[in-house]
């Protein structure tokens, strides 16, 4: 295998936010000043630079250009890497917001896609909650009125959370991360966020932050919501205990525990973004490829040309979150069935994303 094809350790981008805290530095080992309110660490992003190997210093976008399909497989290598993953520290609540779908993003914003996303809760305060949809059916007219008179919070749906819970947010879903929550976010690569309400806060300049009410009203789903934490689908395969958390056409996310010394993960001919959790992990790019040791809370991207990767545990337990961009959903379903889950169980899981 070429020495240019190996697990790429990425240098994340940290961003400050008025709602951020110090957990990204103190707990998740990110660069920065813990006295500053850090809100997000962008773990897998098209502009992140490689920290290891012969391609050190290149961005993930550079790799798309240089390696083409060897990196991206069937994914279009001429477009930005299709998923963005983040670790988020919401010391205070984020704004109430919504994201557009692909059609609106292309027609109005002239961008290739909108934003569907999901959240995996890493840790939270005992009474933490999310805003996830509306508490009842509403309308464009009512939402516009409540934004204007400051009563929008009266009709949002608040959902209690606990560590390990996973939540799915299709485009059009009104939402907000509440105070005291640390989570791992996977999203379509997009910066399209329409802010509806910001809890009457002011920004660093002492002025209220900009709202995007007109566009938000265009894209909101006004129906009452019922979704909460997702049902997962777990199975054992080749030295791994795999728990599928989300399986959308844009991305799949699973939590993987390494339970055998010879654990092998089949990539399906796609790149994978792997973020370690509480222990370090060695990622091997095939039987003859280069190895990369990934410390806790670091992220690597493996190229599509590596059809199988080895995962070598570095502690107890060794676990990671694995993100599949633009996954083959039928193949993921079949793996679960082949590992012993019934077709009905698999269908129940995948139906959550129809």
* Residues annotated as part of the active site: 195
Q: What is the DSSP letter of 224?
A: B
Q: How far is CA 194 from CA 171, 218, 267, 280, 339, in A?
A: 11, 10, 35, 37, 42
Contact between 223 and 140 under an 8 Å Cβ cutoff? The reply is no
Structure token pair of residue 219:
């894209």
Contact between 163 and 122 under an 8 Å Cβ cutoff? The reply is yes
Contact between 37 and 17 under an 8 Å Cβ cutoff? The reply is yes
Round to whole Å and give the CA distance between 248 and 170. Answer: 9
Question: Is the bond preceding residue 317 a cis peptide, omega within 30 degrees?
Answer: yes
Q: Where are the alpha helices (DSSP H) in 116-196?
A: 140-149
Exposed / middle / buried, residue 147 (Cβ in 10 Å: 0-12, 13-18, 19+): middle
Q: What is the DSSP letter of 61?
A: H
The Cα angle at residue 198 between residues 126 and 167, in degrees rounded to 5: 45
Q: Between β-strands 299-302 and 291-294, what pairing exists: parallel, antiparallel or unpaired?
A: unpaired
Q: How far is CA 323 from CA 156, 258, 270, 275, in A?
A: 30, 16, 10, 8
Structure token pair of residue 341:
């889950």
Phi-psi sector, 150: left (phi>0), alpha (psi -120 to 50), beta: left
């Amino acid at each position: 295998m070429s020495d240019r094809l190996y697990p790429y350790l990425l240098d994340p981008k940290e961003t400050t936010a008025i709602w951020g805290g110090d957990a990204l530095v103190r707990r998740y080992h990110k660069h920065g000043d813990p006295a500053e309110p850090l809100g997000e660490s962008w773990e897998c992003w098209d502009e992140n630079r490689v920290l290891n190997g012969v391609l050190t210093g290149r961005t993930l976008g550079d790799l798309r250009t240089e390696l083409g399909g060897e990196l991206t497989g069937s994914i279009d290598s001429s477009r930005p890497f299709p998923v963005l993953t983040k670790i988020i520290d919401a010391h205070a609540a984020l704004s109430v917001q919504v994201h557009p779908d692909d059609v609106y993003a292309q027609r109005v914003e002239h961008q290739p896609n909108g934003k569907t996303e999901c959240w995996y809760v890493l840790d939270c305060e005992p009474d933490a909650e999310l805003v996830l949809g509306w508490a009842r059916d509403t309308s464009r007219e009512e939402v516009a009125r409540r934004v204007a008179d400051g009563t929008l919070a009266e009709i949002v749906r608040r959902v209690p959370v606990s560590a390990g819970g996973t939540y799915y947010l299709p485009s059009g879903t009104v939402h907000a991360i509440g105070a005291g929550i640390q989570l791992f976010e996977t999203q379509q690569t997009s910066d399209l966020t329409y802010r509806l309400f910001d809890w009457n806060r002011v920004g660093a300049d002492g002025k209220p932050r900009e709202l995007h009410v007109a566009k938000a009203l265009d894209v909101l789903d006004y129906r009452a919501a019922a979704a909460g934490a997702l049902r997962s689908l777990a199975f054992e395969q080749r030295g791994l205990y795999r728990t599928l958390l989300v399986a959308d056409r844009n991305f799949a996310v699973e939590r993987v525990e390494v339970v055998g010394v010879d654990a092998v993960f089949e990539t399906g001919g796609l790149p994978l973004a792997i973020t370690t959790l509480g222990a370090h992990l060695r990622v091997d790019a095939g039987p003859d490829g280069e190895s990369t040791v990934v410390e806790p809370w670091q992220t690597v991207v493996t190229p599509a040309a590596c059809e199988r990767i080895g995962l070598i545990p570095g502690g107890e337990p060794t676990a990671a979150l694995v993100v599949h961009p633009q996954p083959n959903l039928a193949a993921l379903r079949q793996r679960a069935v082949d590992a012993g889950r019934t077709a009905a169980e698999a269908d129940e899981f995948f139906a959550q994303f129809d």
